[in-house]
Amino acid sequence: MFAFLKQGDDAAYHAFVLSQKDLGSAVTNDVDGKKPMLSKSAFMQLAALIGAQNEVAYKVLEDTAIISTVSLSPQTKQRAAGVLKSKLPEDSVQFLSATAHYAEDIYPLAKEIINKYPSAKEKIEVVFLKNSYLRHMMYDEGAAFMYQELEGKITNDSLSLSSLDLWYAYWVINTVGFRGTLTPEDCCIWISIPF
């Protein structure tokens, strides 16, 4: 998914939506009697978001997608316990937020990218921003407190527009890309909603 969004052309669009086309009868028709599929214009909007990321941000997106899959592994918990010396969150997203500042001491992949690109440390902290779980925010599952950290950082200018774009790109990828918590037919609807 990363590569298709970064490529951002007609061939990439068709490859990106291939899984939606191949669903056959598994997908119910929408109100117009058509199978839902991500539009090319929505794909191009996402491609512009991903394509605008610099090399470091793009690498952070790749690596944090992988890091987020191992956040609650026994090895990660053991390393985090040695660094944080406090009760570890049981929720994977809260765990990532709690460990983001110490990422290079907990996640070998984070250490590698931070050693190569020191600015990646701040980007990892942006991606794993505390209480800013976009999927829960969109569906109002996390209450108003989920907006406080994000709003506070925007208000005091400690979160730039490019950092906000990076955070949003991570959540798009988390929801419909590498981590794919939505089915292909639902992805086209979710990522077509303007944010």
pTM: predicted TM-score of the whole model, two decimal places: 0.80
In a domain, 167, yes or no: yes
Residue with the bigger pLDDT between 180 and 1: it is 1
- What domain range is 182 assigned to? 1-52+162-195
Whole-angstrom CA distances from 132 to 4, 11, 122 are: 26, 33, 16
Residue with the bigger pLDDT between 25 and 71: it is 71
Q: pLDDT > 90: what percent of the chain?
A: 49
The DSSP result for 42-95, as a single string, is HHHHHHHHHHTS-HHHHHHHHHHHHHTTSTTSHHHHHHHHHHH-SPPPSSHHHH
Q: Which residue has the tokens 């690596």?
A: 63
In a domain, 191, yes or no: yes
Residue with the bigger pLDDT between 178 and 86: it is 86
Structure confidence by residue, pLDDT tens digits, 116-142: 999 999 999 999 999 887 776 766 666
Cα 62 from Cα 174, distance rounded (Å)? 10
Three-state SS sequence of 88-148: CCCCHHHHHHHHHHHHHHHCHHHHHHHHHCCCHHHHHHHHCCCCCCHHHHHCCCCCCHHHH
Residues 6+ apart with CB under 8 A from 176: 1, 182, 187, 190, 191
pLDDT at 193 over 50: no
CB atoms within 10 A of CB 129: 22
In a domain, 84, yes or no: no
Per the structure, how many domains does the chain have? 1
Q: Quote the tokens at residue 19.
A: 């899984």
In a domain, 43, yes or no: yes
In a domain, 192, yes or no: yes
In a domain, 102, yes or no: no
In a domain, 105, yes or no: no
- Whether 96 contacts 128, CB under 8 Å: yes
In a domain, 151, yes or no: no
Cα 105 from Cα 125, distance rounded (Å)? 14
Q: Quote the tokens at residue 64.
A: 């944090």
Phi-psi domain of 75 (left: phi exceeds 0; alpha: psi -120 through 50; beta: other): alpha
